[in-house]
Amino acid sequence: MGVFKKGIVGLEINDTVMYVVELSGTKNNPNIISYGKKHLAEGIVKEGKIVNQEGFRKALDELLKETRIKSKKVVLGVNNNDVIIRFLRLPIVIDRKKIGNFLKFQASDYIPFNVEECELDYTVTGEQKTEEGIFYNVLFAAARRNMLDGFLKAFESTRLILKDIKSSTLVLDTFLQQENNDRVYAIANISSGICSILIIYNKIPVFARTISMGKARSAMSIASNASTEIRLSIHYFQSQNGFSIVEKVYLLGHDAAKAGIKEYIKNALNIDTEVLMPFKHLYYGKTVEEEQKEKELDATEYAVALSLAMHGLSESRGVRMIE
């Protein structure tokens, strides 16, 4: 697939499978080096957390060999109940440089964990003028340290170096950067009994939620459960932001491409719905080598791993869980 320098690996892990995409180049001009997936034996990862370190390392080593990945730096995506995401409005009277200190002392108001046991980070996504005044829009994230330590330990005996750990939910916006600024979109990642929902307005994440739906066996059960969770999330978002109407829903993930799911969700929500194919949205008609147009590579199940790698190529810091 060609030889490139300074590659980066995006790695998504859930309870049943892990996906990997290796990129080089820049965020605006990425080159695909390799990609692949590995099914995980039961008991290696549970509820999004590594519980069998040796089993994980063995599976990861096999995946790297099968895909012939050479890059060492990896951006890992995590999605479990030890990660909390909050979207806050803070009065602009707070000195922007002191927001970090403010959140550190007020974190217990926003998260259900012991603050001393968490890594905290934030990013100011913009300012908002309301009848009550001007506010900072702040994306605030907290992750339990013991969960992060589990991932760090799992990579100690591998040849990979963790460049960053990110919320798999917060990176879902990568492929919608060309959409109109003044419209509201929802992205739902449906995979392995989990539905992660991100709502974006003006290229900025404004709502995030992850729900365990259980292990539904049929496509229609998955579609029914997912449509219910997406509807509840949209209704809650709109109740808090009455002016914001979600105009389109993008689906991604292993289960999103199953026959009948898109149509079911579209009819249940009565909202325009599309299965997001990552390379169609990523390149926007740019010339791509023929090997990058393979049907499998365009599969929506690789979208999160690709997005993680894209974030690794970006110079933007964003919200981080490790330093």
Domain final position from 143, 159, 181:
143
Predicted pLDDT of residue 178: 57
**pLDDT, tens digit (0-9, with 9 covering 90-100), for 212-263:** 887 767 888 999 999 999 999 999 888 877 667 889 999 998 888 888 999 9
Cα 284 from Cα 313, distance rounded (Å): 18
Query: pLDDT value at position 278?
Result: 73
Q: In 167-317, where does DSSP find H-type helix?
A: 219-240, 261-269, 278-283, 303-313
Residue 260 CA to residue 157 CA, distance in Å, equals 43
pLDDT of res. 258: 85
- Of 15-24, 111-120, 121-130, 249-258, least confident by mean pLDDT is 121-130
**E strand or H helix that includes residue 144:** strand 133-144
**109 lies in a domain?**
yes
pLDDT value, residue 298: 55
Nearest-Å Rg of the Cα atoms of the chain is 19
Q: Is the dihedral of CA 24, 28, 29, 31 positive or negative?
A: positive
321 within some domain = no
Q: 112 and 32 in one domain?
A: no
Q: Are residues 222 and 272 in the same domain?
A: yes
| Beta-bridge partner residues of 25 | 30
Q: Are residues 131 and 220 part of one domain?
A: no
Domain that holds residue 115: 83-143
pLDDT value, residue 212:
85
pTM > 0.75: yes or no: yes
Is there a single domain that holds both residue 95 and residue 224? no
Contact 56, 45 (CB under 8 A): yes
In a domain, 193, yes or no: yes
Let me know: does 234 contact 207? Beta carbons within 8 Å: no
What is the tens place of the pLDDT at every residue in 5-23? 578 999 999 888 999 999 9
CATH assignment at residue 135? 3.30.1490.300
What's the Cα-to-Cα distance from 279 to each of 6, 117, 174, 284, rounded to whole Å? 21, 39, 11, 8
Domain boundary among 143, 173, 192: 143
Could you give the CA distance from residue 128 to residue 136 in angstroms, rounded to a whole number?
A: 6
Does 240 share its domain with 169? yes
As a whole number of angstroms, the distance between CA 137 and CA 165 comes to 23
Same domain, 279 and 201: yes
125 and 223 inside one domain: no
Regarding whether 211 and 186 lie in a shared domain, the answer is yes
Does the residue 201 lie in any domain? Answer: yes
Domain of residue 253, CATH code: 3.30.420.40
Structure tokens at 167: 């919320």
Helix axes of 145-155 and 53-67: crossing angle, nearest 10 degrees: 50
User: Residue 131 — very low, low, confident or very high, per pLDDT cuts 50/70/90?
Assistant: confident
pLDDT at 228: 94
- The domain boundary, picked from 124, 143, 162, lies at 143
169 located within any domain: yes
State the Cα–Cα distance between residues 157 and 321, nearest whole angstrom: 21
Do both 123 and 184 map to the same domain?
Answer: no
Look at residue 135 and tell me if it is in a domain: yes
pLDDT in tens, 204-214: 888 898 888 87
Domain presence at residue 319:
no
Q: Are residues 300 and 241 in the same domain?
A: yes
Q: Which residue has the higher pLDDT, 286 or 52?
A: 52
> Which segment of 61-70, 168-177, 205-214, 253-262 scores lowest on mean pLDDT?
168-177
The CA distances from residue 267 to 185, 224, 264, 297, 302, in Å, are: 17, 11, 5, 28, 26
**104 and 134, same domain (yes or no):** yes
**Does 16 fall in a domain?**
yes
Are residues 77 and 89 located together in one domain of the fold?
no
pLDDT of residue 297: 53
